[in-house]
Chain A
Amino acid sequence: MASSTPLGNRKKPAFLPKTVSSQLIIIILLLVGDAAVGWVISQFVSLGYTPLAAAFFAIALAVNIILLVKKAYPLRWMVAGLVLMALFTIYPILFTVWVSFTNYGEGHLITEELAIQHILEIKYLPEDSKAYSWTAFKSDSGDYALWLIDAEGQPYLATEGELIAQPVPGQAGIGELDADGIPVTIEGYQRLNSILAATDPNLSNILFGQEDKTIQVRSPQEAAELVQKYVYDPERDVMIDQEDGTVYSNLRGTFSSPTGEVLKPGFIANIGLENFKRFFVSPALRGPLVRIIVWNFSFAGISLVLNFALGLLIAVLFNDPGFPLKKLIRSLLIVPYTVPALLTILVWRGMLNPELGVISRVLENLIGWAPPWFTDQWWAKVAVIIINLWLSYPYFMLISSGALQSIPDEYYDAAQVDGANGWQKFWKITFPLLLVAVGPLLISSFVFNFNNFNLIYIFNGGGPPMANTPTPAGHTDILISYVYNLAFSASRGVDYGFAAAITIVIFFIVGTITLIQFNYTKMWEEVSENV
């Protein structure tokens, strides 16, 4: 430590601002930046986007520390990257975790602040109050007057603060009435049609008439003696109905009355571990989960073994220098890899179609029977695995070819001397050394297939359906497609909170697998060290 201090001291001058003025500029810029970020944060807070505000605060704080603390100087060179990572990687992860503890989803899409704003705007017409049709007149100074006609056809003239019953043409500058009983002109005012009047967004906020009985424009057709329906009590977090006194308390994101009446809209609220519980505890969901997880692992495992085996086989064949037309065939074999998977899956879907598909038709003509690819659970699984094989073998062919090139020929020469046959050479030299090189890629491939949503969803939507399950599920459904159905279509529309909870569960499953497999590949690395 002692030796590092002089070294640090010696280096410092090169890093520090040479003049006071440059230091000052940094501080001023920082203050401006902080002020801007502070404004953004205050906006977020006022709108209820607390997590986003917290993220901005944390990032701004970190940037300040990096720029002001001398020891953090080297970090300056990474500050842009760190900020971007925080915003686009770390924040989404934290946000997902936060969402998983809320009821964010359809029915609960807006913040409590917005929901309260919405509910406070609800008005009602008390029993002895009247509704009118209206026509707006606007004075040169921008004041409005409303010509109102009630249900009995009686006219009224309302301005802010005054309501004249039975206005008569000729008085107070009121001109002749037209066929609808509305004056053509009012002195000092200009008559507006309903669209023109509506272009002023403030019109519906104006209280016309006397103080005790104000009239508000509620729609292009109607103005009425409206009264605000609900009042919010922030102390108790309740809404109180002004009409009948009912108290609506905040129950997990919905204002609910003691008798179960609810106020729309609902809002985002913290519901604790509810989403996780729903996934693990609820009997409605637990049902097909075990079968789906078993198939999920089988699908990823079988796919990995088959795809790798085929890719490796082709790679080994082409590794033989004497293979004819090597380049051409190898190029052709890569084709499935270059076509977008989405299209390939759709093409396979068409080819396997029982009525019109090429494969089904040909099989029917040849042997008089075609597998029910879409309606039988086992054949559907076979189909999914075949399509995945078609999609993935070129990848394994490519990586295996590369890895094979890197195995030194000396090993084979030595084996030759020891009298090993081709089979032994493959299993004792090629395969272990290959695994060392492609091991991590195998893991990533397993993880990819574990979450291979596209294939499952596009091919048959997870179908055919399972019988006797508490929730809709299909035989080829993997965890992610099953959950997608539950969170985004089966239940009440979109349910982000639930989806986020499941994402976290899947993350832990995949993370555990990866960890185990990495340990396993370490074992192979040890093998390679001993070769």
Chain B
Amino acid sequence: MKKILYTTFALALVLVMGLTACQGATPTEVVETQPPATEAVVTEEPTEAVVEPVATLRIWADDTRTPILQGLAEEFLNEYNVELVVEDLGVVQDIRSQVIIAIPAGEGPDIYIGVHDWLGSLVDSGLAAPIDLGEKAADFESSALEAFTYTDGNLYGMPYATENLGFFYNTDLVPEPPTTWAEVLEIGQQLQDEGLVQYAIAIGGDPGYNSFPIQTAFGGYVFGKDENGAWNPDDIGLDSEGEIAAVQWMVDAVNAGLMPETTDYETAHAMFESGDIPFLMAGPWALDRIRASGVNYAVAPFFPDEGAPFLGVQGFLINPFSENVLLAQAFLTEFIATDSVMEELYITGNRPSAYSSVLAMTDDEDLKAMGQAGANAIPMPNIPEMGSVWSAWNNGITLALTGDLTPEESMVDASTQIRDLIKGALVGMVNLPGSYQSLAGCGADWDPACEATGMTEGDDGMYTLTVDLPAGDYEFKVALDGDWGVNYGSNGEQDGPNYTLSLAADGTVTFVYDPETHLVEFTVE
């Protein structure tokens, strides 16, 4: 008997594990989308429809937004018989890591909250669906919509709040905000001489983001834009003249004893709150703590020298694998994009609204000033290449501030690091992608990263490749770094026409590429 019991137990265990594992990883909903949904049956019988919700919308939100959305659940259920399930995932930044695991496993929500600069990774991974706001689009701030528009021209999120740094000054020490960065240092110097402050200003966190208004004031930038207005990852501005000038300004400030060389969030904010520094660039997230500290402060409605901060936009995104994409869209545009809900999101969230009518009635002086100072704010680039920027950028500025490198050396280094990271492992590869590749050991034709057709550099600096090919007509091109970004055609020019190669009989072809002229010569044996 024991034995049988045991066997049953073992099998039950296997079963249970099978089922739980299945629950954890299989998108059963996705599998069952195709057959006509049971909901149709339910709606045929109105008596039942009242009892049973016709659909469920699952939303992943952060702790601030969850209660607001939960408050809509009852109304939504009564009005449309759709159940709203809002799950609290903590802070907004944590939602991303959950989404990239849950959605591929079929466990994702229908709608989730996110920040616009995640788009690169989310869209490229197929985790966000395009959203059509229709006429509602006019109700939103255009900068917020622009931030949620990806390089393919589609809108992938419905924004509700924006955030950018503001320029805080201590009103006990400084009556009027300075209009130039030079003035910031002058005032700081004066106050320091009087023994009132320790420094003029401190960078409150990672130097790249938190000193961006200084960098832009001098003409620095991260990515340029192409002719269509899309971010251009090939144009990296961190070694531009303006950027180096901005870093030089910061280094001079450190050398003059007017700025600490460390850029710690906690330290910088504590120093401002205790009056040790008269100026600080801080975001709306720091308002609560600065207010609580009791320091007398004001937010300037502009940055010195018209510097531009980065703009971050929070919004609602839709899971493309959801059964209810249409319903999710309708819910967002008809139910969330309303004055009352947007106002509630603004009041609880303590961020400038992305909804024009709510933004217009912002009554918080600090948020209003931050919004004005951010009128020229630059949306954080939402292309995936931005991921390669942060640490190199921060390190570059830090190395200059600590005096390890000159501003020029460090920023040129940082830009090189970023270019290499974007290119990835294949930086330096010279390849000849073409219609012959699948015959030369590649998985497919026209693959600029195929190892089998990578050229080898000779002692003379020329690159060569030898392949055996059957008779036939072929086309090919030169591509560098395993990518089409830099490619040369038969005229030796970027994006030029394909080379053509005709073989009357089977033969061995030797290609020679000259990196000076960008031309390829080939000989057939």
Which residues of A are interface residues toward B (Cβ below 8 A)?
17, 22, 25-26, 29-30, 32-33, 36-37, 40, 43-44, 46-47, 49, 52, 56, 59-60, 63, 67, 76, 79-80, 83, 87, 106-111, 114-115, 117-118, 121, 133, 141-142, 193-204, 217-222, 249-252, 256-260, 264-266, 274, 277-278, 281-285, 350, 353-356, 372, 374-376, 463-465, 467-472, 474, 485, 489-494
A471 engages B123 (CB within 8 Å) = no
New contact pairs (13) apart from A106-B125, A469-B413, A494-B97, CB-CB < 8 Å = A107-B124, A110-B104, A199-B82, A257-B446, A284-B421, A355-B267, A375-B261, A469-B417, A471-B392, A472-B417, A485-B391, A490-B387, A494-B121
Indicate if the CB atoms of A56 and B421 lie closer than 8 Å. no
* CA A350 to CA B435, docked complex, whole Å: 61
Q: Which residues of A contact B483 (CB under 8 A)?
A: 260
Docked-complex contact A256 and B399, CB < 8 angstroms: no
Question: A43 touching B31 by the CB < 8 A rule?
Answer: yes
Task: Judge if B465 is at the interface, Cβ distance under 8 Å.
Answer: no
- Contact call B126/A467, Cβ cutoff below 8 A: no
CA distance A350 to B265 in the complex (A): 12
Ranked nearest first, the 10 interchain pairs of A and B with the lowest CB-CB distance are: A265-B126, A260-B484, A221-B134, A465-B395, A219-B132, A278-B425, A258-B446, A198-B330, A198-B327, A249-B444
Q: How far is the CA of A362 from the CA of B297 in the complex (A)?
A: 30
Q: Are B449 and A251 in contact (CB under 8 A)?
A: yes
Residues in chain A near residue B329, CB distance under 8 A: 198, 219-220
> Contact flags (1/0) for B125-150 with A, using CB distance below 8 Å?
11100011111000000000000000
Choose among B37, B104, B487 the residue with the greatest number of A CB atoms under 10 Å from its CB.
Answer: B104
**Provided the pairs A43-B22, A198-B327, A467-B413 are in contact, do residues A259 and B425 lie with their beta carbons within 8 angstroms?**
no
Q: How far is the CA of A353 from the CA of B331 in the complex (A)?
A: 49
With a 10 A CB-CB cut-off, give which of A32, A76, A220, A257 has the most chain B CB atoms.
A220
Tell me whether A355 and B262 are in contact (CB under 8 A): yes
Residues of A within 8 A of B266 (CB): 350, 353
Chain B, residue nearest A196 (CB)? B80
B220 CB to nearest chain A CB (Å): 19
Across-interface contacts of A470 in B (CB, < 8 A):
416-417, 420
- Pick the residue among A25, A199, A264, A491 that contacts B54 (CB under 8 A): A199
10 residue pairs of the A-B complex, CB under 8 angstroms, read A36-B19, A47-B27, A79-B10, A195-B79, A201-B37, A218-B132, A220-B326, A467-B399, A490-B390, A493-B387
B106 to chain A, nearest CB (A): 7
User: What is the predominant secondary structure among interface residues of chain B facing chain A?
Assistant: helix
Interface residues of B in 29-71 (CB under 8 A from A): 30-31, 33, 36-37, 39-40, 43-44, 54-55
* Cα–Cα distance between A490 and B131 once the two chains are bound (Å): 30
Whether B100 pairs with A37 at a CB distance below 8 angstroms is no
Say which one of B1-9, B165-173, B340-348, B500-508 lies at the interface with A.
B1-9
List, in ascending order, chain A residues with CB within 8 A of B435's CB: 258
The answer to whether A87 and B134 have CB atoms under 8 Å apart is no
Is B196 at the interface (CB under 8 A from chain A)?
no
Bound-state CA distance A133–B425 (Å) is 48
Whether A201 contacts B323 in the complex (CB less than 8 A), given A29-B7, A107-B384, comes out as: yes
Chain A nearest CB, measured from B441 CB (Å): 13
Name the distance in Å between B348's Cβ and chain A's nearest Cβ. 24
Assess whether A204 is in contact with B13, with CB atoms less than 8 Å apart. Answer: no
Contact B398 A464 (CB under 8 A): yes
Contacts of A258 in B (CB 8 A): 433, 435, 445-446
Q: Which residues of B contact A44 (CB under 8 A)?
A: 25-26
Question: CB distance A220 to B334 under 8 Å?
Answer: yes
Tell me if B420 and A284 are in contact (CB < 8 A).
Answer: yes
Residues of A within 8 A of B120 (CB): 492-493
Decide: A201 near B261, CB < 8 A? Known: A40-B21, A355-B267. Answer: no
Known A251-B449, A472-B392, A493-B387; judge A63-B14 contact (CB<8 A).
Answer: yes
Q: Would A67 and B7 count as touching, CB distance under 8 A?
A: yes
Residue B205, interface by CB 8 Å: no
Say yes or no: B40 contacts A493, CB within 8 Å. Answer: no
Per the bound structure, the CA–CA distance linking A503 and B228 in Å amounts to 42
Contact B448 A260 (CB under 8 A): yes
* In the complex with contacts A353-B267, A470-B416, A472-B395, A199-B388 CB distance below 8 A: no
The answer for the CA separation of A376 and B323 in the assembled complex, in Å, is: 55
Is A199 touching B427 in the complex (CB atoms < 8 A)? Answer: no
Bound Cα distance from A204 to B423, whole angstroms: 40
Identify the interface centre among B11, B43, B423, B446: most chain A CB within 10 Å of its CB. B11
Is residue B377 contacting chain A, with contact meaning CB distance below 8 A? no
B440 to chain A, nearest CB (A): 15
Which residues 244-275 of B sit at the A interface, judged by CB distance below 8 A? Answer: 260-262, 264, 266-267, 270-271
Is there a chain A Cβ closer than 8 Å to B469's Cβ? no
Q: Which residue of B126, B133, B391 is within 8 Å of A110 (Cβ)?
A: B126
| Interchain CB contact (< 8 A) of A221 among B135, B262, B399 | B135
Known: A37-B14, A202-B37. A374 touches B262 (CB 8 A): yes
Q: Name the distance in Å between B250's Cβ and chain A's nearest Cβ.
A: 14
Contacts of A117 in B (CB 8 A): 30
B4 to chain A, nearest CB (A): 5
Chain A: which residue is nearest B423 at the CB level? A284
Which of A47, A52, A67 makes the CB contact (< 8 A) with B106? Answer: A47
What is the bound-complex CA distance between A33 and B123, given in angstroms? 40
Kindly state whether residue B230 has any CB partner on chain A within 8 Å.
no
Q: How far is the CB of A146 from chain B (nearest CB, A)?
A: 13
Are B121 and A256 touching (Cβ within 8 A)? no
User: A356 contacts which of B15, B30, B80, B270 (Cβ < 8 Å)?
Assistant: B270
CA distance A76 to B420 in the complex (A): 55
Q: Known: A33-B15, A219-B329, A471-B420. Is A199-B80 also a contact (CB below 8 A)?
A: yes
Could you say which residues of chain A place their CB within 8 Å of the CB of B100?
106, 109, 494
Q: Give the chain B neighbours of A220 by CB distance below 8 A.
A: 132, 134, 326, 329-330, 333-334
Question: Quick check: which of B209-217, B278-286, B301-309, B402-410 contacts chain A, the rest being far away?
Answer: B402-410
A284 touches B121 (CB 8 A): no
Question: Which chain B positions have C-beta within 8 A of A26?
Answer: 4, 7
Do A199 and B55 touch across chains, with their CB atoms under 8 A apart? Answer: yes
The smallest beta-carbon distance between B426 and chain A, in angstroms, is 8
CA distance A498 to B40 in the complex (A): 46
- Note all chain A residues with C-beta closer than 8 A to B135: 221
B428 to chain A: closest residue by CB: A283
Known contacts A201-B327, A355-B271, A492-B384; A375/B425 CB under 8 A: no
B484 touches A107 (CB 8 A): no
With an 8 A cutoff between CB atoms, is B224 at the interface?
Answer: no
Q: Does B335 contact A (CB under 8 A)?
A: yes
Question: Which residue of chain B lies nearest to A474 when distances are taken between CB atoms in the complex?
Answer: B395
Inter-chain contacts of A285 with B (CB < 8 A): 425
Partner of A199, one of B39, B267, B396: B39
Of A25, A258, A274, which is in contact with the most chain B CB atoms at under 10 Å from its CB?
A258
Contact B55 A201 (CB under 8 A): yes
Residues on A with C-beta less than 8 A from B404 are: 464, 467
Q: Are B31 and A46 in contact (CB under 8 A)?
A: yes
Find out whether the CB atom of B421 lies under 8 angstroms from the CB atom of A274.
no
Inside 8 A of A350's CB, which chain B residues have their CB? 266
**Cα of A115 to Cα of B40 in the assembled complex, Å:** 28
Q: How far does the alpha carbon of A40 sit from the alpha carbon of B31 in the complex, in Å?
A: 13
**Bound CA span A467–B398, Å:** 10
Q: CA of A256 to CA of B435 in the docked complex: distance in angstroms?
A: 13
Residues in A neighbouring B375, C-beta threshold 8 A: none
Decide yes or no whether B424 CB sits under 8 A from chain A: yes
User: Is B160 part of the binding interface, using a Cβ–Cβ cutoff of 8 Å?
Assistant: no
Interface residues of B in 412-442 (CB under 8 A from A): 413, 416-417, 420-421, 423-425, 427-428, 433, 435
Does any Cβ of A come within 8 Å of B321's Cβ?
yes
Question: Which residues of A have CB within 8 Å of B356?
Answer: none
On chain A, the residues within 8 Å of B519 by CB distance are: none
Given A194-B334, A195-B80, A463-B398: A83 touches B14 (CB 8 Å cut-off): yes
Task: Give the docked Cα–Cα distance between A293 and B322 (Å).
Answer: 46
Using an 8 Å CB-CB cutoff, how does the interface string of B463-494 with A read, 1 for contact, 0 for none?
Answer: 00000000000000000000110010000000
Q: Which of B15, B17, B18, B424 is in CB contact (< 8 Å) with A278?
A: B424
